[in-house]
Amino acid sequence: MRSRGSFAKRGASLLCIAGCMSSALLAEPAITSDTDVTSAAVRPREGSEVAIRLADELVSFFPIADQAQAYAARLRANAAAGRYDGGTRGSLAQLLTADLMAVHKDGHLKVFATNEAEQNAPPSPPKDLPPPIQSAKWIAPGIAYIRPSAFLQKDDEIQAFRTFMEEHRSARTIIFDLRNDHGGGNAEPDVVFSYLFSRKTPLTRLEMSRATFDQSGWPFPVTDTLEVTKTESKVIGTRYALPGAPTPLRSAKVLVLVSDVTASAAEGFAVALQSTGRATLIGEATAGADHFGGPRPINADFSVFMPIGRTYDVKSGRDWEGVGVQPDVAVDPKQALVVALQMAGINHDQAVRLDAQEVPAQPMHKAKLAAR
């Protein structure tokens, strides 16, 4: 078995990019060589060897034991039948991922064709990701509005959230438009929560097996907003909202817009506000990318984004992998801002005009996004 560094050190940045709160802004491996590893032909028996090794890794690390066994059984049966002995490394990575998703869908689990240099290089966010904050303003008197694309945890982006919250601290309604938010880390949500909560409040929990923890370590920075406890079988981290200085936002109406593109840490943000009764969610069920994890090499030419734990709602104990976070007000996501503005006291015609000024940088449905 590989060293603790496989997840805790080499994968630390991608673990956070993939969602420290819940975890599928799935960053692509950085390309560091001139050789296109994806177009290289699969060597004889290489595909079967990769599948069998991947099956073993899933049994060791995937957080849901019965799903891990089902994944492994499918891979081993397909390997024995010769399904993976041919094509290019890129096509093999896609085939392995498709076969896994045919067993159980997981918002993060994915196989990549990568060489060793790429496996050791820092991950890079998807090339077509819009600006981290697409819009942040007073959308109407007393109504603050912000539309992020991701929570990338960069200093300037964290400061941008802090500035937005401070400049709009007098808002009677604040709208978080997550219909294009692919997830990320916790730094930006921590800033937001410090303005919205008046007392220390548990939000979500992250859980991984003690065996995985002992081999790989805890994958997230332990901060004031995260408390970690250990048992013989599990390691559990509880995320908290920690209040900052008192502001009128503590009593403001909070509305969160969601779609099936809303993923990973953005889902964790939404469920934290919903579960605590602090916000109303408007739109459709989110992407259902709950499991957190990081990159792990399979061999010198393939790697996998391996989920190693799950995030769940403190109150219900349920996670949202595969099913998404359900909205409180179910509407077509394209109409979610209009509905939110009306809930904030804007008449319909004006709400339609304001909505027309806020055009998301990407489609608000996964099918349309994938077709781009």
Residues 104 and 243 in one domain: no
Extract the tokens encoding 7: 């997840």
User: Given pLDDT bands bounded at 50, 70 and 90, which one contains residue 221?
Assistant: confident
Query: Is the model's pTM score more than 0.75?
Result: yes
Residues 48 and 150 in one domain: no
Amino acid at 209: S
Residues 82 and 157 in one domain: no
Mean pLDDT of the chain: 88
Extract the tokens encoding 283: 């739109």
Residues 206 and 286 in one domain: yes
Of 90, 97, 24, 40, the closest CA to residue 268 belongs to 24
Extract the tokens encoding 32: 């560091």
Tell me the pLDDT tens digit for each residue of 54-92.
999 999 999 999 999 999 999 999 999 999 999 999 999
Pick 181 or 36 by higher pLDDT: 181
Check which CATH number belongs to the domain holding 333 and give it: 3.90.226.10
Burial 103-128 (b: 16+ CB within 10 A, else e): ebebbbbbbbbbbeebbebebebeee
Query: What percent of the chain has pLDDT above 90?
Result: 76
Residues 191 and 228 in one domain: yes
Residues 278 and 176 in one domain: yes
Contact 179, 281 (CB under 8 A): no
CA gap 266, 215 in Å, rounded: 28
How many domains are there within the chain?
2
Residues 210 and 357 in one domain: yes
Boundary (domain end) residue, out of 281, 305, 329: 305
53, pLDDT greater than 70 = yes
CA distances from 141 to 137, 172, 236, 344, 356 (A): 10, 9, 43, 10, 17
State residue 23's pLDDT score: 35
Residues 141 and 258 in one domain: yes
Q: Side-chain half-sphere of 272: how many Cα atoms within 13 Å?
A: 28
- Domain span at residue 285 reads 133-292+309-371
Boundary (domain end) residue, out of 271, 305, 339: 305
Residues 138 and 183 in one domain: yes
Residues 163 and 259 in one domain: yes
CA 256 to chain centre: 17
Residues 219 and 97 in one domain: no
User: Given pLDDT bands bounded at 50, 70 and 90, which one contains residue 124?
Assistant: low
CA gap 312, 314 in Å, rounded: 6
Lowest mean pLDDT among 109-113, 193-197, 222-226, 327-331: 222-226
CA gap 105, 288 in Å, rounded: 9
Residues 363 and 301 in one domain: no
CA gap 24, 10 in Å, rounded: 18
State residue 372's pLDDT score: 64
CA gap 130, 117 in Å, rounded: 27
CA distances from 336 to 237, 265, 289, 351 (A): 33, 20, 21, 11
Contact 184, 265 (CB under 8 A): yes
230, pLDDT greater than 80 = yes
> What is the per-residue DSSP string for 283-319?
ES-------EEEEEEEETTEEEEEEEEEEEETTT---
Tell me the pLDDT tens digit for each residue of 319-330.
999 999 999 999
Boundary (domain end) residue, out of 259, 276, 305: 305
State residue 7's pLDDT score: 52
